[in-house]
Structure 1
Amino acid sequence: MRDHGLGSWPARRARSRPGRPALLSEHGTLTYADLFARVTALAHALRGLGLGRGDRVAYLGPNRPSLVESMFAAHTLGAVFVPLNTRLATAEVDHQLQDCGASILIYSAESADVVERLTAAPLLMAVDGGAGSGHDYEESLRAAPTDPIDEPVGHDDPALILYTSGTTGSPKGATLTHGNVIWNCLNTLVELDLTSDEVTLVSAPLFHVAALNMTLLPTLLKGGVAVLMRGWDPDACFDLVERHGVTWMFGVPTMFADLARSPRWRTADLSSLRSLLAGGAPVPLQLIRTYQERGLEILQGFGLTEAAPGALILSAEMSTVKAGSAGVPHFFSDARLARPASAGTEADDAGEILVEGPTIMPGYWGRPDATATVLSEDGWLRTGDVGRMDDDGYFYIVDRIKDMYISGGENVYPAEVESQLLEHPDVEECAVIGIPDDRWGEVGCAFVRTRPGASLDREALTAFLTGRLARYKIPHTVRFVEDLPRTASGKVHKRALR
């Protein structure tokens, strides 16, 4: 087999554990043999449409087997898979499709309305019969050849383009190679001690790098079974854990808090759970203790899309001893602090966290300028986060260099929101910050200075942003001000706003 990339995994698993369930979902059960057959057929279908090595295959839809099949089929051909955020507005999807130069968009019925409004759509393939225009997914599989495809794919070939919003307001596509993803899977297997009998609940959306690379793929690499949730629902989570004997899951702290607040929390059968991995934001100590009272330990991870994503991890046994820490570097990764020249050398001195290792992306898609700002010549990735390190080598995040905030596990970059606010004819100036929120961790607060004589309210601004931005990016609070505080250099003083 000349394919040493991710696309070979279904074939390799089918030859060793063909009858073992690979995917469980509301659409039924797929064994590893089933997955291999469907991936092969879809790869033939895509090749018949003219797709091949290096082409971009985009997918828009919730967690379901067709997303997994589309990814592996793309990789089988040496193509690049681009999973798109289902929460994005049509204009944002349009931009990302054009930016990556997608040759085809595979989509499910849930996203048909967005697809119908696209202005420059590539080839289309609808997963659900009658979902809209384009090729039919299941018909394409039925009509395709079944002979195996052995396209040579190496670890340095691009595998994924995952979009992450930038501080300039222009989302960038982090390009991850097959090697980046494979090394991240190895880190995950080492740190979580995953086994071949894992039953993994994939409860976060697979367009997120953590759900894809920290949850689904390590499970399939070990030959476990992945239980796909269409969308987050605490009751459905409890049901699936009990029904399938789920052994581990990943979630953002908001999701774990939802479970702990549920009336079913104290009575649900969670005895099968061995590992819980949280990421996207720090886990409150009280929530850690709530889980410990039920005999459950939460591991905490810190990472970013550009690192595929694992960078630091805090083991369950250290979750209270080192409460508030982001942990230590993953097994095959390294991290250090880049302190200003004027800083001291004490452990508590803060600096920017830099990460290095085989999981670090080669760069942003088509953005050498942006790549140069985050990657050093010797391969260290600037995370944009300020941290400190204690005497035991544990890292703590103390501030963000960038103004990003995290709402319900989703990264929100104020510059992107501000650029859309400034499109409103009555907005003269604005600034967006993240403010604490009991449920979402942080939500957006916009400070707006209107043009003279304008009459504007929050409802009007929200209506204006709807369709331009994903809902989670739209500020929950709008404050109208006569002026904005500024630094000595004339920039808006966001710390004063906070």
Structure 2
Amino acid sequence: MHNHGLGAWPSKRRLKTPDKSALVFDGDVLTYRQFADAVDSMSALLWHRGIRKGDRVAYLGENSPEFLEVLFGCAQLGAVFVPINTRLATPEIAHVLHDSGARALIHDPEFAGEVEATADRMRVAHIIQTGDRSSDGARGLALALREMRSGHADAVVALDDPAAIVYTSGTTGKAKGAVLTHGNLTWVALNCIVDYDVVSTDVALMISPLFHVASLGMGALPVILKGGTMVLERRFEPGRALELIERHGITMLSGVPTTYQMLADHPDWATTDVSSLTKLTCGGSAVPTRILNAYEERGLSFTQGYGMTETSPGATSLSPTMTRAKQGSVGLPHFFTEVRIADEHGDMVPRGTVGEIQIAGPNVFPGYHELPEASAAAFTADGWFRSGDLGYLDADGYLFISDRLKDMIISGGENIYPAEVENLISDLDGVTGVAVIGIPDEQWGEVPWAIVTVRDGMTVDTETVRAHLEGALARYKLPKRVVVVDELPRTASGKVRKADLRARFTSAA
């Protein structure tokens, strides 16, 4: 076996569990034999389009079998999969395509407009639309796959070879591509199998977008590795999700606090049979007590965790048995992962002392795509990843998050880096200063607010700012509210004291 990466998984599953249900989508069932055959056809198609080891293949689309078939098809060839967040604005999509150097782009029909708008700014050799034909009559992916006859050449793939480039919002305004290796994604799947007790009889409902590494690395991959079944949904709709849980006897569900809140708030929550659920995993932010109570009343409890794209993404997990005893904690390091706390000088600190969270393990990425300086800065001299987050380990080794050095906002599970939004708001005529902060929100966890100073005689309000940003940023990044102040609180060195702003405006929200 020359392919030691993800590309070998489908054929091994075809050998071991050929008739087991792998994917359920739109009422259709794909066995592991059918899934592996589809992956073979996908890799053959990419091969005949000239895709070779190291080439990047981008995918812009919602959850579907094609998403996974392209991922594993790339992995067979040693090509690199580039999932694109469907919520990104056109300029953001163009950046991902240009920065990654994608040679091929596969996209769903509903994103044809965005693809066409980026065409003059990218150098993609092959653009393929899912379905039989694109709007201009060109052969679509489904038709091209049905016409595919011959296979592809096997590639030699090692665990250290890149498998995917996943873009994470940049602290300086541009998204950075985190390179995840085959080993990174294999080890994060193993971490989940060990710590979440994933088994072959699990039936997982995938309602979170697979373009997020949490849904992919900690949801889809461990299920496939163990030979479980995935029920794929294009997008999340709470009423339909509840219906699917009861119909398919769903055992495994992952999401962010907003996901679980919307399920519990739905009128069908009280009458839906949820007794099959045994694994509820939640990330992004802590589960509010109200949601914990609602699920515990139904006999359900959560595994919570902490991580980031650069750790593929899992770093820690809090088991359901410790949800109350360690409430507020994000848990212990995953089985094959280590966490430590360091002070500003890089020295380790005692238990209970706040410092920077640093992470090591085979799930930690090797660096950012074509950004050697940023990659070097992301690691300590002895090879630990610097998360940029502040926290402490208690006496039992459980991690608690204290603050985020990077001021990242997490809204409905989506990461928002203020610098990216601030840079664009600063271009607005009349704005003399801006700070974007996260304000607690019952539904989304946090929402961005923009606190601005304005030149005398000028008027800047929420509508003005949102209109200025519309089309340039994903809508979830647009400030929910814009507040004009006389001046922004600053340190002696001139940096905005965002903690002061958060304290002031959280109480006013």
| SS at 2:270 equivalent | coil
Which letter does structure 1 place at the counterpart of 2:327?
A: A
Quote the residue 2:233 is aligned against: 229
Deviations 1:297-319 (A, max 9, x none): 10001111100111011001001
Taking every aligned residue pair, what percent have the same amino acid on both sides?
Answer: 47
Quote the residue 2:468 is aligned against: 464
Quote the residue 1:325 is aligned against: 329
Deviations 1:309-361 (A, max 9, x none): 11011001001110000101000111010024599954221011111000010
More displaced 10-residue stretch of structure 1: 257-266 or 63-72 = 257-266
Structure 2: distance between partners of 1:294 and 1:120: 52
Quote the residue 2:91 is aligned against: 91
Task: Decide whether the 8 Å contact of 2:133 with 2:139 is kept in 1.
Answer: no
Deviation at 1:429, TM superposition (A): 2.1
Task: Decide whether the 8 Å contact of 2:44 with 2:152 is kept in 1.
Answer: no
More displaced 10-residue stretch of structure 1: 139-148 or 276-285 = 139-148
The aligned runs of 1:116-265 (5 Å cut-off) are: 116-118=116-118, 119-121=120-122, 122=124, 123-132=126-135, 135-147=139-151, 149-265=153-269
| SS at 2:4 equivalent | coil
Structure 2: distance between partners of 1:436 and 1:392: 29
Quote the residue 1:487 is aligned against: 491
Deviation at 1:19, TM superposition (A): 1.4
344 and 145 in structure 1: CA distance in 2 versus 1, 3 angstrom threshold: closer
Deviations 1:153-200 (A, max 9, x none): 110100010000121111100000000100111100000111111101
Deviations 1:65-109 (A, max 9, x none): 111111111111100000000000000000110000000110001
Task: Decide whether the 8 Å contact of 2:341 with 2:349 is kept in 1.
Answer: no
Which letter does structure 2 place at the counterpart of 1:487?
A: T
Q: Any gaps of 5 or more consecutive residues in structure 2?
A: 503-509
Q: How many residues align?
A: 498
Deviations 1:43-85 (A, max 9, x none): 1111111111000000001101111111111111100000000
Q: CA RMSD in A?
A: 1.6
More displaced 10-residue stretch of structure 1: 377-386 or 128-137 = 128-137
213 and 345 in structure 1: CA distance in 2 versus 1, 3 angstrom threshold: closer
Quote the residue 1:54 is aligned against: 54
104 and 132 in structure 1: CA distance in 2 versus 1, 3 angstrom threshold: farther
Deviation at 1:462, TM superposition (A): 0.9
Quote the residue 2:366 is aligned against: 362
Deviations 1:404-447 (A, max 9, x none): 01000111000000111122233232111111111101001101
Quote the residue 1:433 is aligned against: 437
| SS at 2:427 equivalent | coil
Structure 2: distance between partners of 1:227 and 1:309: 22
Structure 2: distance between partners of 1:341 and 1:277: 35
Deviation at 1:21, TM superposition (A): 1.3
Deviation at 1:451, TM superposition (A): 3.3
Structure 2 residue 102 is matched with structure 1 residue 106: no
Structure 1: distance between partners of 2:54 and 2:96: 17
| SS at 1:125 equivalent | strand
Quote the residue 1:275 is aligned against: 279
Structure 2: distance between partners of 1:148 and 1:98: 27
The aligned runs of 1:411-422 (5 Å cut-off) are: 411-422=415-426
Deviation at 1:135, TM superposition (A): 4.8
Task: Decide whether the 8 Å contact of 1:414 with 1:433 is kept in 2.
Answer: yes
The aligned runs of 1:352-431 (5 Å cut-off) are: 352-431=356-435
Deviation at 1:261, TM superposition (A): 1.3
Structure 1: distance between partners of 2:384 and 2:132: 47
481 and 317 in structure 1: CA distance in 2 versus 1, 3 angstrom threshold: same
Which letter does structure 2 place at the counterpart of 1:233?
A: E
More displaced 10-residue stretch of structure 1: 466-475 or 424-433 = 424-433
Deviations 1:364-383 (A, max 9, x none): 00111111111123221111
Structure 2: distance between partners of 1:362 and 1:381: 9
Task: Decide whether the 8 Å contact of 2:43 with 2:152 is kept in 1.
Answer: no
TM-score by length of 1: 0.97
The aligned runs of 1:32-47 (5 Å cut-off) are: 32-47=32-47
Deviation at 1:148, TM superposition (A): 6.3
Quote the residue 1:313 is aligned against: 317
Which letter does structure 2 place at the counterpart of 1:55?
A: D
Quote the residue 2:8 is aligned against: 8
Q: Any gaps of 5 or more consecutive residues in structure 1?
A: none
Deviation at 1:235, TM superposition (A): 0.4
Structure 2: distance between partners of 1:343 and 1:45: 52
Task: Decide whether the 8 Å contact of 1:37 with 1:146 is kept in 2.
Answer: no
Which letter does structure 2 place at the counterpart of 1:120?
A: R
More displaced 10-residue stretch of structure 1: 78-87 or 277-286 = 277-286
Task: Decide whether the 8 Å contact of 1:204 with 1:250 is kept in 2.
Answer: yes
Deviation at 1:27, TM superposition (A): 6.1
Structure 2: distance between partners of 1:289 and 1:453: 51
240 and 161 in structure 1: CA distance in 2 versus 1, 3 angstrom threshold: same
Which letter does structure 1 place at the counterpart of 2:320?
A: A
Structure 2: distance between partners of 1:342 and 1:359: 22
Structure 2: distance between partners of 1:237 and 1:42: 29
Deviations 1:428-479 (A, max 9, x none): 3211111111110100110122334333322122112110000100000101
